[in-house]
Amino acid sequence: MKRIAFFGAISPFGKLLLLFGIVLLLAIVSALGGILIGMLLFNASFAELASYVSNPVTAKAVSFIKYYQVINQIGIFVIPALLFSYLVSNNTLDYLSINKVPKLISIMVGGMIVYAILPFNNYLDELNRQMIFPDFLSGIENWMKEKELQAKNLTEVFLKTNSIGGLLLSIFIVAVVPAIGEELIFRGLLLKLFNQLTKNIHVAVFISSFIFSAIHLQFYGFAPRFMLGMVLGYLFVFTGNIWVPILVHFINNASSVIVYYLHDIGYLKISMEEFGSSTNVVYIIGSLLISLWLMSIIYQKEGADRLIGRK
């Protein structure tokens, strides 16, 4: 006897609203629950934990920030994805496309794309950071710059370590948890729902990538993150397997963590921001062309007719 999908018959738009409601509800629950548990684990008051978030300078504050990040990632992405899939489908694993073993060729080529596209993506990043707003939008510009600075400082808090154990913890926080949670939501659910809503897989990839980039609130890095979302989206479309974008997302984030660590301990001279950058136009254009060629290999190997959303 199959399990009943309580909301399986509602429209794609209704499912989008349901997903938004679940994410919002569990975001609030995880935020409050994380603080309450944090008060016990770290023997600190609410005011002290708030100060840790705004100014994580002590070891205790950094530990709380890392703990709270994991709680929020799981509460905002992982649990909502699983709960939503349970409510709209009688087979959660199949609905999320996580019940199949990915092809090794797709993972290997996908990993190559992460590095091949670096010169082009870093060029997009440079263009993005030159964004200037008119005077009447200066308030929005200042807000964006403030968010960018906050995100940069928070990233350094997560990545700053001088031990292998600290490096592994950073990889777990910055690469493992986000790769699983964000891919389940943005590719496993949103891309599929927008495909059902618009009847156009390319529009669905575009919209889900746009939301993926915008939700990070790092607007001066919007373009390269949007490009990454497009790559991950089409990897999901071509393979029909969520594990491929999850693993490629992991490779992308983990590489940044490792490069930051090696630069910080003096093993690499090049910083994380400069890694893979080039001002040579040939390299930049070649980076894009090689990445498109690698994507075409996955497209051909996995089968050109394997588009999601047809079942």
The answer on 164 and 44 residing in a single domain is: no
Q: Tell which of 45, 60, 95 closes a domain.
A: 95
Q: Residue 80: what pLDDT?
A: 97
pTM, 2 dp: 0.91
Residue 184: band (very low, low, confident or very high) from pLDDT cuts 50, 70, 90: very high
The answer on 129 and 250 residing in a single domain is: yes
The answer on 230 and 104 residing in a single domain is: yes
Rounded Cα distance between 4 and 245, Å, is 29
The answer on 145 and 10 residing in a single domain is: no
pLDDT tens for 200-238 read 999 999 999 999 999 987 777 889 999 999 999 999 999
Residue 308 has pLDDT above 60, yes or no: no
Rounded Cα distance between 175 and 288, Å, is 24
pLDDT above 70 coverage of the chain, percent: 95
- What is the pLDDT averaged over residues 271-276? 81
Measured CA distances, 45 to 51, 57, 67 (Å): 10, 17, 16
The answer on 297 and 158 residing in a single domain is: yes
The answer on 121 and 77 residing in a single domain is: no
What b/e sequence results for 168-195 when a residue is b if at least 16 CB atoms lie within 10 Å of its CB, and e otherwise? Answer: ebbbebbbbbbbbbbbbbbbbbbbbbbb
**DSSP state, 11?**
-
The answer on 183 and 90 residing in a single domain is: no
The answer on 106 and 90 residing in a single domain is: no
The answer on 124 and 57 residing in a single domain is: no
Asked if 127 contacts 121 with a C-beta cutoff of 8 angstroms, the reply is no
Domain that holds residue 179: 98-311
Which of 158, 135, 131 lies closest to 145, judged by CA?
131
The answer on 57 and 115 residing in a single domain is: no
Asked if 16 contacts 198 with a C-beta cutoff of 8 angstroms, the reply is no
Q: Residue 35: what pLDDT?
A: 93
Reduce the DSSP state of residue 168 to 3 states and report it: helix
Rounded Cα distance between 48 and 45, Å, is 5
Reduce the DSSP state of residue 201 to 3 states and report it: helix
pLDDT above 90 coverage of the chain, percent: 61
The answer on 192 and 45 residing in a single domain is: no
Q: Tell which of 42, 73, 95 closes a domain.
A: 95
pLDDT tens for 189-198 read 999 999 999 9
Handedness of CA 103, 108, 114, 118 (dihedral sign): negative
The residue whose two tokens read 């990233």 is: 155
The answer on 70 and 103 residing in a single domain is: no
- What is the pLDDT averaged over residues 132-136? 73
The number of domains in the chain is 2
Q: Tell which of 95, 128, 159 closes a domain.
A: 95
